Amino acid sequence: MPPIYPIIDDSMVPFGRLCETAEAIIGGGAEILQFRSKNLTPADLLAVSMELRRMTEDSKVLFIVNDRVDIALLSSADGVHLGQEDLPVAEARRLLGDERIIGLSTHSVKEAMEAGGLPVDYISFGPVYRTATKTDARSPRGLRELTTVRGQVGLPVVAIGGIRENNCRLVLEAGADSVAMISDILSEAGIREKLARLTGRSLS
């Protein structure tokens, strides 16, 4: 799992700038990109996902669709990221097959340990810090609980929630394999430059 896991959330990026934002993230050296949408119609969600799939495939970047197994299939995404209330993992795996990636959100040590017995490729854990990205976000879990999860779960762990450029190193040192970043990337004027700093990529 790449150490930096950017997520494009359409609650923070206008519809007309979704692909432009993805281009900047990819240009900055991202190796994986997730698209999260709570606002688009199914038709628009599929259209954008198909374009993002084209862009990421050309750049050899993994493309993950949030929540929607159907959109992941129709857009030929590399995988899907599911929440606790989404389609059960076993059913998602049956539809997606063994080749595609499935990630699962977890918010406690118990959920993380339960995920270890499911056919998932990685888990996310959080929120590590307080976050304003999701209005229904749970209370912060903190670095100590993240370290506990790392010691209990054999799957790759993607930490999420309130992670910024100035604290991502602490999160990785606490045991995360990867850090999901949303607002700290999407609110930046120079997204490409921000990703280049995070990924260590030199810009020509």
Distance CA 78, CA 100 (A): 5
Among this protein's residues, is 54 annotated catalytic?
no
In angstroms, rounded to a whole number, what is the distance separating the alpha carbons of residues 118 and 130?
A: 28
Whether 204 maps to a domain, the answer reads: no
Q: Which of 36, 53, 93, 192 is catalytic?
A: 36
Q: Which of 134, 150, 164, 197 is catalytic?
A: 134
Is 157 part of any domain?
yes
Residue 107, helix vs strand vs coil: coil
Give the pLDDT score at 130.
Answer: 85
The total of structural domains in the chain comes to 1
CATH of residue 57's domain is 3.20.20.70
What angle (nearest 5°) sits at the alpha carbon of residue 105, between those of residues 100 and 111? 115
Q: Is residue 156 part of a domain?
A: yes
Answer yes or no: 110 catalytic.
no
Q: What integer pLDDT is reported at residue 136 of this predicted model?
A: 58
Tell me the C-alpha to C-alpha distance, in Å, between residue 142 and each of 146, 147, 177: 7, 9, 16
Closest CA to 72 of 103, 105, 117, 116: 103
Instruction: Report the alpha-carbon angle 86-124-30, nearest 5.
Output: 110
Sign of the dihedral through C-alpha 145, 148, 152, 153: positive
- Rounded CA-CA distance 147/123 in Å is 14
- Domain membership of residue 41 as a residue range: 4-199
pLDDT string in tens for the chain (204-residue length)? 999 999 999 999 999 999 999 999 999 999 999 999 999 999 999 999 999 999 999 999 999 999 999 999 999 999 999 999 999 999 999 999 999 999 999 999 999 999 999 999 999 999 999 876 665 567 899 999 999 999 999 999 999 999 999 999 999 999 999 999 999 999 878 999 999 999 887 554
Given the residues 105, 124, 141, 178, select the one marked as catalytic. 105
CB within 8 Å of 61: residues ≥ 6 apart: 26, 30, 31, 32, 33, 55
The predicted pLDDT at position 200 comes to 82
Active site residue 197: no
pLDDT attached to residue 203: 58
